[in-house]
Chain A
């Protein structure tokens, strides 16, 4: 039987040290979950993409428009069930710091492709009457619940934007507040009528992208090739990508960020290990005599190892739990507005939390093993000898 009483006595006796160590591990685990969440958020956008949706954009640049008049042509491709165009509006809401995405689109098509629950579309979740109100008001808009909360908008409010890509002062009536129903949508985007944009910006008839929803079983690669081939020799060449690949394009714009974050994560992990190992080694040294006495009394080696391992696991596990809890409360419950600017869907995934806990327990085991190993390798007589 293991003298667990010793374990508790030591925790109590060295409480300050234990607390500092746990806190150190907690901070590291907090950082780890944060860093990994950045990466999973980036990946999430790719994975959450609709399997049967493709995005058509200009082959030249995302910032080059396509004419909306090609929509019927896009619709005519076999397998295309619905087409929805998106146009990046830019603009400024009160201050440049208030960054959220604003798109002009066709409300009916947006609803059909992303929001028709009856047909199984649940990327954008919004009550039917709000969809209807949005479709009915040419100057209407809908906003995600996150920005609605942040800026205190409710249906009936007017949002004033200053146009930059589309010069002028713009006014939109809030007709609905949606909730994102999949990782493909975030809760901080504003949608409004493309017709309203077009008639107030000189009827240029241009859009940024078309999202095509395809019938299940459509050969996506074949369709993409067909679309791009159709416009190859026109003066608006297209590039058709799956929604996942289109999202991936944005992710890859971050360049080496994921690699950099992984490197930092490695450093954080290693630092946490140093902190835990330091304390456990220290305890090993301080308990040399205790180990000697226990072994003289006839306690087997695994008992002594268990004491060190348990201490490592508990100290690091408690830190890990605190770190995961802290990141959960901060990112998943409270939310950090500054992060929304870059990562509107920033949320710590359960698997990240499990992983972080596992890592902290692992650090605990490894930093408990070393002093246990030292303790068991020291001859009993040396351990009993006073230095």
Chain B
């Protein structure tokens, strides 16, 4: 077994404390940036994924990438509703609902305005998209301008609270209920009657349809998807509800994650360079010590691993520092553009376990990269030359 001069290497980190600290800080900053942006991506994704259930289908116009871009004729929806394989609700009607999803410019509570998503729905949507539960108040009454609002919007939009009213098109839209989808996408939506919404927008067509597959039949959802996509009267693309939201989350989430790794990666390479400088300098000062280790019988491999451990320790210390730097953002609410739907998506930074794990892995990697050249150099020192002054 190759012994590693572990204690020696760890103690050596204090040889030039300023170098050690500066390296740890520079690695820490890159990890901090990584955690910051990853937690942003995570928060955004958490606000969208885990929304809905797999037997629910989102039916969009073929070519539409989001609910906001889709269009569906009235006769198309009638045909869809009559298709077999759709579950039947308590009232005996098929669980299919025409909807219209659009970004609406609303005044924010704190001044200014932003686009918020309005979803015009039929009452069947409450039975289909049942992850959105009414936790306060009641459903809107069809044929009126009543709305129910997502929990996350309370206090964000002017007039957005139970018993008050939103102002849209110069008309009051009374808030009669509050939706809670347990952190899901519907927490940021406003629901109203689809027919009223279409009238207000002067739109002759629905946007999309939602439907629940009859899961008493084997492969109910797959078969319904196939039926819908194959029907020549419908030019539609069908996705399961969670898949749709996951894909929406993926658009920005992946971009953010990509940005996080690019920025933090470039920073980390810089930090790794700085750390290499520290380790090389430390090695230069300890040449005779390393020679002594080799002379008393440590193998070059052990010296190499020892130096790598030294580097990884620096990296890990930087990783811990980085997480600590970025941790205070956890839970801070923010909003950003959801480019899929052009609406403002409310969410919070989430420093979750996987974000921390990614940061620690990342910092370990930075340590290894920093240590490669110094460790290789150390292990290649000839014992005799190393012993010279």
Identify the A interface with B (CB < 8 A): 16-17, 20-21, 23-28, 30-31, 35, 59-65, 90-92, 96, 162-167, 202, 204, 206, 232, 235-237, 239, 252-257, 260, 263-264, 267-268, 270-272, 274-275, 277-279, 281-282, 285-286, 342
User: B101 CB to closest chain A CB, in angstroms?
Assistant: 10
Could you say which of A59, A167, A254 contacts B61, with CB atoms under 8 Å apart? A167
CA distance A166 to B71 in the complex (A): 7
4 closest A-B pairs by beta carbon, nearest first, are A275-B274, A24-B270, A164-B64, A162-B63
CA distance A14 to B336 in the complex (A): 47
Contact of A275 with B271 in the complex, beta carbons under 8 Å:
yes
B33 contacts A by Cβ under 8 Å: yes
Count B interface residues, CB 8 Å.
60
Identify the B interface with A (CB < 8 A): 16, 18-19, 22-23, 25-26, 29-30, 32-33, 36-37, 40, 60-65, 68-71, 102-105, 112, 114-115, 168-170, 200-202, 204, 235, 255, 263, 266-267, 269-271, 273-274, 276-278, 280-281, 334-337, 339, 342, 344
Kindly list chain A residues whose C-beta atoms are within 8 Å of the C-beta of B276: 20
Could you say which of B63, B71, B204 contacts A92, with CB atoms under 8 Å apart? B63
Beyond the given A165-B71, A268-B33, please list 13 additional residue pairs across the A-B interface where CB-CB is below 8 A: A21-B274, A24-B270, A24-B271, A27-B267, A31-B267, A61-B201, A62-B105, A63-B68, A63-B342, A64-B201, A90-B69, A165-B64, A274-B274
User: B144 CB to closest chain A CB, in angstroms?
Assistant: 18
Contact of A282 with B266 in the complex, beta carbons under 8 Å:
no
Could you say which of A27, A239, A253, A264 contacts B33, with CB atoms under 8 Å apart? A264
12 contacts between A and B (CB under 8 A): A27-B269, A60-B168, A60-B169, A63-B68, A165-B69, A255-B335, A260-B36, A260-B40, A264-B36, A271-B29, A275-B270, A278-B23
Contact of A21 with B277 in the complex, beta carbons under 8 Å:
yes
Contact of B280 with A17 in the complex, beta carbons under 8 Å:
yes
Residue of A nearest to B284 (CB): A286
Contact of B278 with A164 in the complex, beta carbons under 8 Å:
no
User: A98 CB to closest chain B CB, in angstroms?
Assistant: 11
The A/B interface has a contact count, at CB < 8 Å, of 179
Contact of B63 with A91 in the complex, beta carbons under 8 Å:
yes
CA distance A115 to B280 in the complex (A): 61
User: B104 CB to closest chain A CB, in angstroms?
Assistant: 5
Could you say which of A27, A236, A239 contacts B202, with CB atoms under 8 Å apart? A236
User: B293 CB to closest chain A CB, in angstroms?
Assistant: 22
Kindly list chain A residues whose C-beta atoms are within 8 Å of the C-beta of B337: 253-255
Contact of A24 with B29 in the complex, beta carbons under 8 Å:
no
User: A10 CB to closest chain B CB, in angstroms?
Assistant: 13
Contact of B266 with A27 in the complex, beta carbons under 8 Å:
yes
Kindly list chain B residues whose C-beta atoms are within 8 Å of the C-beta of A263: 36
Could you say which of A26, A91, A281 contacts B18, with CB atoms under 8 Å apart? A281
Kindly list chain A residues whose C-beta atoms are within 8 Å of the C-beta of B281: 17, 282, 286
